[in-house]
Amino acid sequence: MYKKVLQFCALLAYFSFAIEAKSQVAAIPFTAALDTFAPISGTTVDAPNADDVSYQALPIGFTFNLGGHSSDVMSVNTNGYIELDSTGGNNFTSILSGSRNNIVAAFGADLRHMLGTASLQYGTYGTAPNRVCIIQWLHYSYFNNVGDISFQIHLYEGTNCVRFIYDSNTLNGSPMNTQIGMRGTTNLDYLVLGDTTCSWANAYPFPLITTLFPVSTSCSMPSGFAFHFGPCSGTAITSLGFLTGTVYDDVNGNGVQDVSEAGIPHHVLNIQPGNHYVATDAAGNYSFFYFDSTITYTITAQPITYWNQTAPTGPITCQPSTQSTSGLDFAFTMIPGIHEVSITCPSWPARPGQAEPMPIWYENNGTAIESDTITFVMDSMYSYISATPAPDAVNGQTLQWYYSNLAPGQRGHIQLSLMPSLALLLGDSLHSSLTIGPLNDTIPGNNVLALDQLVSLAWDPNDKLAEPRNVITDGGLLRYTIRFQNTGNAVAYNVVVRDTLDANLDPMSFHLIGATHPMNFSLEQGVLTFTFYNIMLPDSGTDMAGSNGSVSFTIRTRTGLAPLTDITNTAGIYFDHNPAVITNTTVNTIEMLTAVAGVSAGNLEVTVSPNPAGEQVRLLFGKSQNEQGNLSVLTLDGRMVMSKTGLRSGEWVDLSGLATGTYLFNLSSESGVATLRVIRK
């Protein structure tokens, strides 16, 4: 990082007549610096299409003094500035001649929230008396809907320093004057920067220069460029920066990443205090932006099943003010000879006569190289269209692929396309199966997948699926699939999927299953972001099959959750610069099982959840998802109040017609009979 101090004695002399109690802003020295723009995840105040809006009386978190004016609240404006008052104007007025006072403008222009990724956020970080309040405009645009502009204002406690920092911005083609500076309690007390040649590091203040920055595509600030007003560095305040490191495969177990040893992608780490989460990139590198160099941070890497963490043997601690903040690496070494593969495919609804994309992901979770067979047996009402790669064998409704030399940690993807029969009716079900060998590996249960799909006549192509559906055990594993389709009338260059995790999900258990297209992944502050750069997704009118995409991952609930706790999840899908397409909200409930089964000669295994139950209850047969049974519901005095036949495992039973109380559920199937005690609340 370099710094070039730009202090102007001529400026102070020019303003000597005004530097009284009312002209303290004009006397603040400023510095140009090259730093790193680090987005925050704070409190969002704006909404899509916000334009000329002032969000008033927002807390700074401490008392800040600007040129003799003190305030602990601020008004934040979409037009790239804040006012240190509880009320603020909507339209941006000139710092030099306008009527608004106590202004701090990092990018004063006619801006608006237009892009799907845009947001206006603020947050206060660190501990007293060294806190910093950050206000962030992310992916804002000019009023004419062009540009992609990101920048921040930092207000420092104690020193009253102001810092502007800019991202790598996409600006307007023609020059647009932009006000950068501050104004005190009168229009005689200001510090506004400008330049005629667009040399950002050599900015001059008014009136020595009378041209505002002619911001355009040919006059864009470099990424990480910053202005500091006052003492923003040195020992007077805590510093900000990054903790960085790599999670890697320590093949030889020497605790050092050798040239041939690869990083481990998509690996989650936890940072305390604050319970922050980050994830490694495709090369296994991670970074965490810290706000207080005096704090000791503890970094914990997510454990890997069938691997040992070799260096260090536990968490890493780092105090940035006294220790190096780079090279905070974690080494993992495989336990050799473990065979474990898995396969998955989402069982989302199918439409008659509509080509059904079936993304199949398989993975080597063990530590031995694997070669075997993948078999898909499709329902009799399906017909095969195509697959990439093509199956090695097709025999009636059975498709087979032979995979070879699947390395530990390696994933594979088959994009299968099937056609549901037009004879299917709404409410019908399709039952297919998917297996991967070797079937006698460490966890054979994840080698076989029963795909039960409900037939639907209409559905939103941008949706979210949670499996298992509805009820889940405490600490149980959820598999989420987010599906997206370009239903517009032109190609989508980029797609971004954002998923804010429920607080009752454990980010340290996150595992990426796969995606249909190349993408980048990040996890920050509990928000998963999947970015499909340059996906070039065709529209559905041009290429129906090619207009689809999806991403799938697993994650566990936290343990110790109270029964009947709901786990909800919703994602936002952004196609280029369009507003977010919001998916459906999935709901899973932590089960409450108080029923005891009475088992007879066939040893029927069945559970009912939730229990106590509301208006619906779900029956699960333990031996086979395809098993069917008959149900009789009796009161405790033996009166039958409900009966159903042909129930399938996982089916929900409507109890809305039953009064509250305790009932006996008598179930029978080919496997035997069972009696369960169920409470209707």
pLDDT per residue as tens digits for the range 409-452: 999 999 999 999 999 988 788 999 999 999 888 888 889 998 88
Q: Which of 14-28, 381-395, 594-608, 662-676 has the highest mean pLDDT?
A: 381-395
Cα torsion through 648, 654, 658, 660, rounded to 10:
100
The pLDDT assigned to 237 comes to: 39
Structure tokens given for 496? 């971004």
Q: Which of 464-473, 481-490, 521-530, 634-643 has the lowest mean pLDDT?
A: 634-643
CA 58 to chain centre: 26
With 80 as the cut, is the pLDDT of residue 110 above it? yes
With 90 as the cut, is the pLDDT of residue 217 above it? no
With 90 as the cut, is the pLDDT of residue 505 above it? yes
The pLDDT assigned to 318 comes to: 95
With 70 as the cut, is the pLDDT of residue 40 above it? yes
CA 3, CA 282: separation in Å to the nearest integer? 32
The answer to whether the beta carbons of residues 35 and 224 sit under 8 Å apart is: yes
Average pLDDT estimate for 364-386: 96
Q: Which of 111-115, 365-369, 501-505 has the lowest mean pLDDT?
A: 111-115
Q: Which of 15-19, 183-187, 244-248, 625-629 has the highest mean pLDDT?
A: 244-248
Structure tokens given for 585? 């909200």
Structure tokens given for 1? 């990082």
The pLDDT assigned to 211 comes to: 54
The pLDDT assigned to 15 comes to: 32
Other beta carbons less than 10 A from residue 494's beta carbon: 17
CA 384, CA 543: separation in Å to the nearest integer? 18
Average pLDDT, the chain: 83
Average pLDDT estimate for 15-19: 33
E-only strand ranges, 487-547:
495-500, 505-515, 520-524, 527-532
Q: What is the DSSP letter of 237?
A: S
The pLDDT assigned to 432 comes to: 93
Average pLDDT estimate for 220-242: 66
The pLDDT assigned to 195 comes to: 65
The CA–CA distances, whole Å, from 259 to 249, 262, 281 equal: 11, 8, 18
With 80 as the cut, is the pLDDT of residue 196 above it? no
With 60 as the cut, is the pLDDT of residue 554 above it? yes
Question: Rounded to 5 degrees, what are φ and ψ at 13?
Answer: -65, -40
The pLDDT assigned to 678 comes to: 80
Q: Output b/e per residue, 220-257; b: 16+ Cβ within 10 A.
A: bbeebbbbbbbbbeeeebbbbbebebbbbbbeeeeeeb
Domains of the chain from N-terminus onward? 3-229 (no CATH), 242-333 (2.60.40.10), 336-458 (2.60.40.1510), 460-591 (2.60.40.740), 606-680 (2.60.40.1220)
Question: 545-549 — which CB contacts under 8 Å span 24+ positions?
Answer: 545/355, 545/357, 545/417, 547/485, 547/486, 547/487, 548/357, 548/461, 548/483, 548/484, 548/485, 548/516, 549/483, 549/484, 549/485, 549/495, 549/515, 549/516, 549/517
The pLDDT assigned to 292 comes to: 72
With 60 as the cut, is the pLDDT of residue 14 above it? no
Q: What is the DSSP letter of 543?
A: -
The pLDDT assigned to 597 comes to: 35
Convert the pLDDT of each residue in 615-627 to its tens digit.
888 777 655 556 6
